Amino acid sequence: MSKQDNLLEILQRQGVSRRGFLKFCSAMASLMAMPPGTAPAIAAALSKAKRPSVIWLSFQECTGCTESLTRSHNPTVESLILGAVSLDYHHTLQAASGTAAEEAREHAMKEFFGKYLLIVDGSIPLKDNGVYSTIAGMTNLQMLEEAAKGAAAIIAVGTCAAFGGLPHAKPNPTGAVSVSDIIKDKPIVNVSGCPPIPVVITGVLAHYLTWGTIPDLDKHKRPLSFFGDSIHDRCYRRPFYDQGKFAKTFDDEGARSGWCLYELGCKGPTTNNACATLKWNNGTSFPIQSGHPCLGCSEPDFWDGGSFYSPLPTPSADVSTVALGAAAAGVAAGVAFGLYDHQKRKKAKQQHEKITVKDLDE
């Protein structure tokens, strides 16, 4: 496709009707929690938009985010977006390889300097000068800094890019950090999740394509319209939590009745994401619905936040041993001080100044 064609023309050539296109725009509007009247605005913008250049950098990642994005039962949504942008560099999806691929990247960066969208997935290792992840001889750090210079905005896709993710977990042998830890002077949107819900990625892109701005963000730089609520607040099993009905094992009566999975380690209360409403596989289900507690994968440091199968109140360190040690120390100190005081009394008794009638004289 030529960069000069507008999206509507491209879609029509692909057999997508104008009606289908408008349906997509309405869906996007509602996903982005925009008023219904914005659908025509999205349609107008997208139909006239020239396809901006998008460079996708994959660093220390598992490719799960790309898999999520492309694992779609509804080709219209994702491929529409992929059609609306010019994906000039993407390890998994691009046809080119080797030096040809790197040249394509450098060319796009130069030609669209200041205007291209940078998408990053995977964390950036810093230890030992960043040798733990390199592409074409360049460390991730170098590549990110270079690419960020000319980016209009950066979308950190997946918890690894947003918060450091799995490589960042203790003991963090590669010194992995997030995009926000490195780039401080560009607008960043964190689309966290391990992986993120596909439509969340596309929703952010749609917003950017329509308005040229990034959506409203929470304090972790995640789009509010998707990460504004916790799983707990939207979970369909919430009434069971409120009634104190918890499954104690994975196949007990409670589990089979679909009771709350809090005791099995659900991190829903401390996790913000859209899983409970948008769900996965085009709204089919999400972990809790399948009987598995939420891992909290869209939160920073969720790998170090305690076992996936230990409930939230579980201490993250050994308290019993410490308490016993403290108790023993208390006994020892108590006896020591007590004996000292006992001696103090004894000494006072020995030095007792006997009261005589003379002391009663005034």
Partner 1 sequence: MNEIEILTWLRGPGLQISVALFALGLIFRTVQNLTIGMSKNLAESKGSYMMPGMATIVRRSLFHPGTTHRGYFTMIAGYTFHIGLLVTLFFLEQHILLFKSILGFAWPSLPPAIINITALVAIAALIAVLLHRIMDPVVRKLTDYQDFLAWILTIAPLITGYLAMHPIATTYQTALILHIVSAEVLLIAIPFTKLSHMVSIFIARWYNGALAGYKGVKS
Partner 2 sequence: MSAPSSTAHRAIAALVEQIDAPTATFFTSCVHCGMCADACLFYTETQDPKYIPIYKLLPMRKVWQQEFTFWGRLMKAAGLAKPITHEELDEWEELVFDSCTLCGRCSLVCPMGNDITYMIRKFREGMTAAGHAPSDLKAAMKRAIELGSPMGVSLATLKAQIKHAEQELGYEVPIDKQGADYMMLLSSAEIAQFHEIIPAVSRIFKAAGVSWTLCSEAFEGTNTGIQIGASDLAAELVERIVAGAEKLKVKTVISPECGHAYMALRWEGPNLIGRPYPFKVVHILELLDDLRQQGKLKTKGKDATRMTYHDPCQIARRGGIVEQPRNLLNEVAQNFVDMEEHGEFNWCCGGGGGVSANERAMPRRLDVFSRKKKQLDDIKVDRIVTACSNCRNMLEEGLEHYRMDNIEVVGLTETIAQYLDESA
Q: Is 139 helix (H, G, I), strand (E, B) or coil?
A: strand
**Min CB(329)–partner 1 separation in Å:** 5
Among 244, 358, 361, 362, binds partner 1 (CB under 8 A): 244
Query: DSSP 3-state helix, strand, coil percentages of the chain (rounded to 5)?
Result: 45, 10, 40
Q: Which two tokens stand for residue 317?
A: 């360190």
Taking CB under 8 A as the criterion, the residue among 115, 127, 256, 344 binding partner 2 is 344
Per CB under 8 A, 307 contacts partner 1:
no
Q: How many Cβ atoms sit within 10 Å of the Cβ of residue 82?
A: 18
Question: Could you tell me the smallest distance in angstroms from the CB atom of residue 120 to partner 1?
Answer: 19
The DSSP output letter for 71 is: -
Binding mask 107-136 for partner 2 (x = CB under 8 A): ------------------------------
Neighbours of 321 (CB within 10 A): 9
**Selected binder of partner 2 within 97, 99, 321, 351 (CB under 8 A):** 351
Applying CB under 8 A, the span of 30-38, 106-114, 196-204, 339-347 interacting with partner 2 comes to 339-347
Question: Is 317 an interacting residue with respect to partner 1 (CB under 8 A)?
Answer: yes
360 scored as a contact of partner 1 (CB under 8 A): no
Does position 239 bind partner 1 by CB under 8 A? no
Closest Cα to residue 145, out of 126, 164, 163? 126
| Contact status: 318 vs partner 1 (CB under 8 A) | yes
Of 57, 233, 222, residue with least CA distance to 143: 57
Total chain residues near partner 2 (CB under 8 A): 16
- CA dihedral (117, 123, 129, 131) in degrees, to 10, reads -100
Distance, CA of 209 to CA of 227 (rounded, Å) = 20
Q: Which residues, in sequence order, are bridge partners of residue 272?
A: 230
- Residue 131 or 326: which CB sits closer to partner 1? 326
Contact between 269 and partner 1 per CB under 8 A: yes
When the beta carbons of 50 and 346 are compared against partner 1, the nearer one is 346
44 binds partner 1 (CB under 8 A): no
| Site track 113-152 with partner 1 (rule: CB under 8 A), x = hit | ----------------------------------------
Residue number with CB closer to partner 1 (92 or 243): 243
* Interaction between residue 262 and partner 1 (CB under 8 A): yes
- Residue 62: exposure state from Cβ atoms within 10 A (0-12, 13-18, ≥19): middle
In Å, what is the CA distance from 342 to each residue of 332, 334, 339, 347? Answer: 15, 12, 5, 9
Does 356 help bind partner 2 (rule: CB under 8 A)? Answer: yes
CB 247 within 8 A of CB 259: yes
Of 68-76, 147-155, 211-219, 343-351, the window that binds partner 2 (rule: CB under 8 A) is 343-351
CB 130 within 8 A of CB 139: yes
Q: 211 in helix, strand or coil? A: helix
Which of partner 1, partner 2, none interacts with 351 (beta carbon under 5 to 8 A by kind)? partner 2
Rounded to whole angstroms, the Cα distance separating 161 from 176 reads: 10
To the nearest whole angstrom, how small is the minimum distance from the Cβ of residue 204 to partner 1?
21
Is residue 60 a contact partner of residue 133, using CB atoms and an 8 Å limit?
Answer: yes
> Which is nearer to partner 2, 318 or 361 (by Cβ)?
361
Residue-wise DSSP of 238-276: HHHHHHT-B--STTSHHHHTT-B-GGGT--GGG-B-SHH
- Of 18, 337, 339, 343, the one binding partner 2 (CB under 8 A) is 337
* Binding of partner 1 by 224 (CB under 8 A): no
Residues that bind partner 2 (CB under 8 A): 337, 341, 344-345, 348-349, 351-357, 359-360, 362
Residues that bind partner 1 (CB under 8 A): 163, 220, 230, 232-233, 242-244, 246, 262-263, 269-270, 296, 299-302, 304-306, 310-320, 322-323, 325-327, 329-331, 333-335, 337-339, 341-342, 345
